Structures are given as structure tokens and as C-alpha cells.
């Protein structure tokens, strides 16, 4: 199944996508609620959503304004280095254990919303990533069972402010500026994708300029292995988000000059079988000026 959470009648609703049409599950099925948290928590609701055939013509997907798939996600866990060529372009040695960091709720936003270049830096970079939503929690999860803990997959742009990322050995500042991590808009359940979301083309671009182009099969740590590693040190809970790292081609590694995102551009991240996460780039100072008017 494909889901999209979108603005609807002053709130938000969960829509089931069939082709280019979307059907409002929140209105049709009691208990679904305004985002995916109801479905994540209830297999019964998932079965009802699967059986729902749609009523009427629905609405065009293109007419919907996306919201975050989960308005209040749990932990936002991220792999930092998961493609060999990206590791090398950053000047790192290939590790035997993945780099990891966490993001705050304030740092993420829905696909289509502005990605904010902060006033203190011009070094805003893009990172195309596969992201999963945890459906079933657990600790010390075994690899052979790990994929059963996935509710669905979506698209993530891990916007990174590189000079602040490199200020310390910990990446937290550069990965947590407000409004830099775009998620969505579509969430696809596992049965509609290859096992573990492998062998999917992943790409980022601005207009016709292709920035990154790779395949999820090139990840060092698979979805299942990542779940195992993360559940060793923390209890995964339904609604947690896990980002799975970016392929090579990021802006800071471009030679001879880095390729930073600039206000007025729109960056797109696309993953085969899931969809496109699009974000206009705006300057923080311009946003403040608009808000003051």
C-alpha cells in the first residue's frame, strides 16, 4: 500500500494512494486519525485500510499538500556513512561499525515545505536517503526477524550544514538546524517493494542537474542489519524513524568547488517505487522578513 498524509479541511488526514488518485482513510475508517500513528499502532487498522477499495473518484494526488507522515515521531535515528564511495569522498576510512546520530523534531519538515538555509552559514548540503518507519518495537532484534519490524519506507533529504557539522567530532549541530530534514510525502509498505527495499534507484537533483545517483543495494549495512545494530543499544518503538545514509555526490565533496544549495532552487530526492521529496530552498533571513510583514 501507499499512504500520504496531507492537509484536509483545516487538519490533516491519511490518504491511500491508488494510481494518481488518493482516498481519505481518516474519513472512511474510524480510528485512523490524522497521521500514520494509528496505522502504525494497529494491524487491524492496516487490514481495514488494505481492504478499503475507495469511494467515489477520490482526489488527485497532485492536489494534496503533504504533511509529515508522523506529526510526533519517536526517535529519529540516522546512519551517517553507509555507501563506500560517499565514505571515501568525505575523507573517512571505511568503518566496521556505522556512524550514527540523532535528529530533533524541529529539524524535520514535510516534503514540499521550505528547506531553510540558516543565516549563519551558506554551506547547506543535500543528502538523498531511504528512511524507514518502525512498526513493531523491540530490543536485541535478530536479523532474520528484523524486516518484520518495518511499517513502511519513505524518502528523506538529510539537509546538512557542513561547517557546523565539522565544528566538533559529534555531528549533531550540522544535522539539526531547524527545517533542514525533509520527509515524505509517500510511505510505501514493505509488500509493495523488494525485500528490505533493496535494488532501488536513489537520486537527488536540482532541475536537470543530477547531484547523486546510486542504488540502495550499494548500502553497506542493509535495512535488517541496521535494525539489529540499533536495537542493540536502544529499544526501538513503533513510530521511530531510521534514516539509512546517503550515496556519493554530496555538495561538500565536489571538486574543485563545493556545490551548496542556494535560495530559489528546488532540490528533489527520488527513490524508485516510493516517490519524490521536493523542497524549495529559502534563506532564513528572507523567512523572517516575510513573517514580519
Q: In this structure, are 103 and 194 located in the same domain?
A: yes
- Which tops the pLDDT comparison, 139 or 53? 139
State pLDDT tens for residues 1-36: 999 999 977 889 999 999 999 999 999 999 999 999
Position 142 in a domain: yes
Position 240 in a domain: yes
Q: In this structure, are 209 and 119 located in the same domain?
A: yes
Q: How does residue 65 score in pLDDT terms, banded at 50, 70 and 90? A: very high
Mean pLDDT of the chain, nearest integer: 96
Angstrom CA distances, 157 to 48, 78, 139, 184, 270, stand at 31, 12, 27, 9, 10
Q: In this structure, are 194 and 283 located in the same domain?
A: yes
Position 68 in a domain: no
Q: What is the dihedral of CA 180, 186, 191, 196, to 10 degrees?
A: -20
DSSP 261-277: --TT-EEEEEETTTEEE
Q: In this structure, are 173 and 94 located in the same domain?
A: yes
Q: How does residue 289 score in pLDDT terms, banded at 50, 70 and 90? A: confident
Q: In this structure, are 155 and 182 located in the same domain?
A: yes
State pLDDT tens for residues 205-259: 999 999 999 999 999 999 999 999 999 999 999 999 999 999 999 999 999 999 9
Q: What is the pLDDT of residue 286?
A: 87
Position 119 in a domain: yes
- Which tops the pLDDT comparison, 233 or 286? 233
Is residue 187 over pLDDT 80?
yes
Number of independent structural domains in the chain: 2
Please tell me whether the peptide bond between 185 and the residue prior to it is cis, using omega within 30 degrees of 0. Answer: yes
Q: What is the pLDDT of residue 57?
A: 82
Q: What is the pLDDT of residue 256?
A: 93
Residue of 53, 10, 15 whose CA lies nearest to 32: 15
- Cα-Cα end-to-end distance for the chain: 43
Position 69 in a domain: no
Position 159 in a domain: yes
Q: Regarding beta strands 186-188 and 201-206, do their DSSP bridges make them parallel or antiparallel, or are they unpaired?
A: unpaired
Q: In this structure, are 47 and 85 located in the same domain?
A: no
Q: In this structure, are 146 and 246 located in the same domain?
A: yes
Q: In this structure, are 142 and 229 located in the same domain?
A: yes
Q: Which of 13, 30, 63 is the last residue of a domain?
A: 63
Position 155 in a domain: yes
Q: What is the pLDDT of residue 9?
A: 75
Position 283 in a domain: yes
Q: How does residue 288 score in pLDDT terms, banded at 50, 70 and 90? A: confident
Beta strand residue intervals within the chain, DSSP E? 2-8, 11-18, 21-24, 59-60, 76-79, 100-102, 108-110, 115-117, 124-125, 128-134, 150-158, 160-161, 181-183, 186-188, 201-206, 209-215, 241-243, 266-271, 275-283
Structural domain span for residue 124: 76-292
Q: In this structure, are 42 and 112 located in the same domain?
A: no
What grid cell was written down for 32?
485512523
Q: Which of 36, 63, 90 is the last residue of a domain?
A: 63
Q: In this structure, are 155 and 200 located in the same domain?
A: yes
Q: In this structure, are 227 and 268 located in the same domain?
A: yes
For the segment 93-106, the average pLDDT, to the nearest whole number, is 94
Q: Report the percent of the chain where pLDDT is more than 90.
A: 88
3-state secondary structure of 204: strand
For the segment 147-172, the average pLDDT, to the nearest whole number, is 96
DSSP state of 114: P
Q: Which of 10, 30, 63 is the last residue of a domain?
A: 63
Is 291 exposed, middle or buried (CB count within 10 Å of its CB: 0-12, 13-18, 19+)? exposed
Q: How does residue 119 score in pLDDT terms, banded at 50, 70 and 90? A: very high
Q: In this structure, are 56 and 97 located in the same domain?
A: no
Amino acid at each position: 500500500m501507499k499512504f500520504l498524509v496531507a492537509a484536509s479541511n483545516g487538519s490533516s488526514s491519511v490518504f491511500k494512494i491508488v494510481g494518481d488518485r488518493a482516498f481519505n482513510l481518516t474519513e472512511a475508517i474510524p480510528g485512523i486519525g490524522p497521521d500514520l500513528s494509528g496505522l502504525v499502532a494497529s494491524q487491524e487498522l492496516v487490514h481495514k485500510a488494505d481492504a478499503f477499495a475507495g469511494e467515489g473518484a477520490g482526489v488527485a494526488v497532485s492536489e494534496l499538500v503533504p504533511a509529515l507522515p508522523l506529526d510526533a515521531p519517536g526517535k529519529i535515528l540516522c546512519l551517517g556513512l553507509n555507501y563506500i564511495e560517499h565514505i571515501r569522498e568525505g575523507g573517512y576510512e571505511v568503518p566496521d561499525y556505522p556512524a550514527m546520530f540523532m535528529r530533533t523534531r524541529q529539524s524535520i519538515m514535510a516534503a514540499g515545505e521550505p528547506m531553510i538555509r540558516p543565516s549563519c552559514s551558506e554551506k547547506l548540503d543535500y543528502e538523498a536517503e531511504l528512511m524507514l518507519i518502525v512498526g513493531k518495537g523491540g530490543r536485541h532484534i535478530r536479523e532474520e526477524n528484523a524486516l518484520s519490524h518495518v511499517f513502511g519506507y519513505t524518502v528523506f533529504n538529510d539537509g546538512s550544514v557542513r561547517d557546523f557539522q565539522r565544528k566538533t567530532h559529534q555531528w549533531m549541530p550540522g544535522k539539526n538546524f531547524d527545517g533542514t530534514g525533509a520527509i515524505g510525502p509517500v510511505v510505501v509498505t514493505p509488500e509493495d517493494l523488494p525485500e528490505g527495499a533493496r535494488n532501488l534507484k536513489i537520486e537527488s537533483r536540482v532541475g536537470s542537474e543530477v547531484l547523486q545517483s546510486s542504488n540502495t543495494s550499494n548500502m553497506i549495512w542493509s535495512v535488517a542489519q541496521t535494525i539489529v545494530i540499533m536495537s542493540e543499544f536502544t529499544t526501538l518503538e513503533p513510530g521511530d524513524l531510521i534514516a539509512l545514509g546517503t550515496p556519493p555526490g554530496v555538495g561538500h565533496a565536489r571538486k574543485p568547488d563545493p556545490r551548496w544549495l542556494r535560495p530559489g532552487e528546488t532540490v528533489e530526492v527520488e527513490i524508485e517505487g516510493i516517490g519524490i521529496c521536493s523542497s524549495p530552498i529559502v534563506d532564513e533571513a528572507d523567512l523572517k522578513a516575510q513573517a514580519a510583514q
